[in-house]
């Protein structure tokens, strides 16, 4: 059983993960509107990943006999100046999520909730991967600059991403 502080913190993160999926869906829509269907596909996969993360929190809270509290989601940003600006925004968002996960780990340690600490370690590693994935896309976009042929080559590469749920 979790204490109140840990339960509230985990519910906050559950809602943050749902917001992440909402934000990435907005980014997907922006890419679709620009006919960058590979980038849109890449973001659709990201939406699925974030929903998976949210469900991990949802299930964990239930497994620990906690009450899930779903909050209203804020309207996500929906307009960017360029594909690079979209990815920059996503990187900043992932850095924020990483800080939130680190805060949850600190909370679990302070509350002596070893089960929550163990659960959260998966997310610590996942955030390293998330930031690296977005960073790689950012680096490629910076390399091509304003070259439309380069942008379309990256778009073709982004179209190949497929969602593979992590092993339980």
The per-residue DSSP string of 46-72 comes to HHHHHHHHHHHHHHHHHHTTPPP-PPP
Q: Is residue 56 part of a domain?
A: yes
Question: Has residue 165 been placed in a domain?
Answer: no
In a domain, 163, yes or no: no
Contact 6, 111 (CB under 8 A): yes
CA distance 83 to 141: 8
What's the CATH code of the domain at 25? Answer: 1.20.1260.10
Give the CA distances from residue 95 to residues 86, 101, 111, 124, 127, in Å, rounded to whole numbers and listed in that order. 14, 10, 24, 12, 8
Residue that has been written with the tokens 């070893």 in this structure: 114
In a domain, 110, yes or no: yes
pLDDT band at 151 (very low <50, low <70, confident <90, very high): very high
In a domain, 119, yes or no: yes
What is the tally of structural domains in the chain? 1
Report yes or no on 10 lying in a domain.
yes
Contact 16, 100 (CB under 8 A): yes
Model confidence over 36-81: pLDDT tens digits?
A: 999 999 999 999 999 999 999 999 999 999 999 999 999 999 999 9
**pTM for the predicted model, two decimal places:** 0.95
Q: What is the pLDDT of residues 114-132, one digit of tens each?
A: 999 999 999 999 999 999 9
**Residue 168 domain flag:** no
Alpha-carbon separation of residue 59 from 14, 54, 77, 106 (angstroms): 10, 9, 28, 21
**Is the residue at 146 inside a domain?**
yes
Q: Which residue has the tokens 């302070």?
A: 110
Residue numbers of the domain that contains 10:
4-71+80-158
């Amino acid at each position: 059983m979790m204490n109140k502080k840990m339960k509230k913190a985990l519910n906050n993160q559950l809602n943050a993960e749902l917001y992440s999926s909402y934000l990435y869906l907005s980014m997907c829509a922006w890419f679709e509107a620009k006919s960058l269907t590979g980038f849109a596909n890449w973001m659709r996969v990201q939406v699925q990943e974030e929903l998976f993360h949210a469900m991990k929190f949802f299930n964990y809270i239930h497994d620990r006999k906690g009450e899930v509290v779903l909050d209203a989601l804020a309207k996500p940003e929906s307009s960017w100046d360029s594909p690079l600006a979209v990815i920059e925004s996503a990187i900043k968002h992932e850095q924020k999520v990483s800080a939130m996960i680190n805060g949850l780990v600190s909370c679990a340690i302070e509350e002596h909730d070893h089960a929550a600490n163990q659960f959260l370690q998966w997310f610590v590693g996942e955030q390293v991967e998330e930031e690296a994935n977005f960073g790689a896309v950012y680096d490629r976009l910076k390399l091509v600059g304003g070259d439309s042929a380069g942008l379309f080559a990256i778009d073709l590469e982004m179209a190949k991403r497929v969602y593979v749920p992590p092993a339980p």
